[in-house]
């Protein structure tokens, strides 16, 4: 145990030094790529006042931005559309046409595109359509994903493959045309939805968690190439959020959020400097701490917190 503490403290010191000295650790406000329009431009193009009351009441920071969001048919994606639609232009991508049509009826400034993120050609077409209809993409939120609980004693390879195709390759398929467009403009903002399940393994997440860990690693690698080109990149790591997927979990989900609450956390986080946007803090702080626990303590702690009992 003494050796573990020494090594752990050494690692934390190294991380802290890198955190304080590396220009890649934080987005600096003075050089952060941004899609925020100036007050003068908003007034010139729309005639809208940019006084304090306008900024406060109409969420002026979203005005005229074009958001490209995948996975909008339900959950966090649908909540993001509802939160943004009064103030921004939104292109929403999902497979279910009926859900897209319902969102279009309920939300202004919403352009629906029925497409499957697992199809690279479909995503290229969706991005082209979005740009043609609503102009250059200012913010891309790559949110499409699936979650099927997996009993580790009954491995289903097809389920694991499906998670990789949707959760990981679905992001890659969207990134390819979006990055190409933003690189040409030397400006843009990309947010990739991962999960705290990508930090350490959680119950029933054997198929889901590894795809989310892969997305974090992907974003960290891409950051070094995209930040110098004026593209802001962030990773969204929610805790447990109410959705069609999590409704089937048979264990306790601490600090469970509604999709609307999650959307609010995300939009606030996207206006900030942090590379990782994690929430709720009451849960994610515990998960960050768990990274440094010995494995035996980690397994006991998670089992107790989730009420998950090992089956005999």
Q: Domain check: are 51 and 73 in the same one? A: no
Q: Domain check: are 151 and 240 in the same one? A: yes
Q: Domain check: are 42 and 190 in the same one? A: no
Q: Domain check: are 175 and 119 in the same one? A: yes
Q: Domain check: are 48 and 170 in the same one? A: no
pLDDT, tens digit, for every residue of 121-148? 999 999 999 999 999 999 999 999 999 9
Alpha-carbon span 278 to 41, nearest angstrom: 32
Structural domain includes residue 257: yes
Q: Domain check: are 220 and 250 in the same one? A: yes
CA angle (60 as vertex; 59, 61 as ends), nearest 5: 95
Alpha-carbon span 258 to 46, nearest angstrom: 34
Q: Is 238 exposed, middle or buried (0-12, 13-18, 19+ CB in 10 A)?
A: buried
Looking at residue 146, what is its pLDDT?
A: 95
Structural domain includes residue 263: yes
Structural domain includes residue 215: yes
Alpha-carbon span 244 to 124, nearest angstrom: 28
CATH code for the domain in which residue 90 is found: 3.40.50.720
Q: Domain check: are 269 and 174 in the same one? A: yes
Looking at residue 283, what is its pLDDT?
A: 85
- pTM attached to this predicted model: 0.79
Nearest to 163, CA basis, from 230, 209, 204, 98: 209
pLDDT, tens digit, for every residue of 224-280? 999 999 999 999 999 888 776 765 666 667 678 899 999 999 999 999 999 999 999
The answer to whether residue 55 scores a pLDDT higher than 60 is no
Name the catalytic one among 62, 147, 168, 208.
208
Look at 32-41, 69-78, 163-172 and tell me which has the smallest mean pLDDT. Answer: 32-41
Structural domain includes residue 10: no
Q: Domain check: are 108 and 50 in the same one? A: no
Structural domain includes residue 145: yes
Facing residues of 141 across strands? 69, 191
The answer to whether residue 166 scores a pLDDT higher than 80 is yes
Q: Domain check: are 44 and 126 in the same one? A: no
**Contact 306/252 with Cβ under 8 angstroms?**
yes
Structural domain includes residue 17: no
Q: Domain check: are 232 and 264 in the same one? A: yes
208 catalytic? Reply is yes
Structural domain includes residue 111: yes
Gap between the terminal Cα atoms of the chain: 30
**pLDDT, greater one: 16 or 283:** 283
Alpha-carbon span 113 to 94, nearest angstrom: 7
pLDDT, tens digit, for every residue of 80-89? 999 999 889 9
Residue 59: domain span: 33-64
Q: Domain check: are 59 and 194 in the same one? A: no
- Segment (H or E) for 89: strand 89-94
Q: Domain check: are 119 and 229 in the same one? A: yes
Mean pLDDT score of the chain: 82
The answer to whether residue 58 scores a pLDDT higher than 80 is no
pLDDT, tens digit, for every residue of 202-226? 888 999 999 999 999 999 999 999 9
Q: Considering its fold, how many domains does the chain have in total?
A: 2
């Amino acid at each position: 145990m003494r050796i573990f503490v020494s090594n752990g403290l050494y690692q934390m010191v190294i991380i802290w030094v890198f955190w304080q000295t590396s220009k890649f650790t934080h987005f600096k406000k003075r050089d952060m790529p941004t899609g925020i329009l100036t007050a003068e431009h908003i007034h010139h193009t729309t005639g809208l006042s940019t006084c304090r009351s306008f900024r406060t009441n109409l969420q002026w920071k979203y005005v005229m931005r074009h958001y490209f969001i995948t996975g909008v048919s339900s959950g966090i994606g649908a909540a993001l559309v509802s939160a943004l639609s009064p103030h921004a232009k939104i292109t929403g991508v999902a497979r279910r046409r009926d859900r897209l049509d319902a969102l279009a009826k309920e939300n202004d400034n919403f352009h629906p595109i029925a497409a499957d993120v697992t199809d690279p050609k479909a995503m290229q077409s969706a991005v082209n359509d979005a740009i043609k209809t609503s102009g250059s993409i200012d913010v891309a939120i790559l949110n499409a994903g699936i979650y099927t609980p997996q009993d580790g004693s009954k491995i289903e390879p097809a389920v694991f493959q499906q998670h990789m195709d949707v959760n990981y390759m679905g992001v890659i398929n969207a990134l390819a045309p979006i990055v190409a467009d933003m690189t040409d403009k030397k400006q843009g903002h990309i947010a990739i939805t991962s999960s705290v399940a990508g930090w350490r393994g959680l119950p029933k997440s054997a198929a889901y968690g590894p795809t989310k860990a892969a997305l974090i690693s992907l974003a960290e690698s891409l950051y070094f190439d995209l930040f110098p080109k004026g593209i802001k990149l962030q990773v969204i790591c929610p805790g447990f959020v109410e959705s069609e997927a999590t409704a089937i979990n048979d264990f306790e989900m601490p600090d469970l959020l509604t999709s609307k609450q999650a959307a609010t956390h995300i939009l606030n986080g996207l206006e900030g400097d942090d590379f990782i946007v994690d929430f709720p803090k009451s849960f994610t702080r515990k998960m960050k701490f768990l990274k440094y626990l010995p494995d035996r303590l980690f397994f006991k702690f998670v089992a107790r917190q989730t009420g998950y009992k090992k089956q005999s």
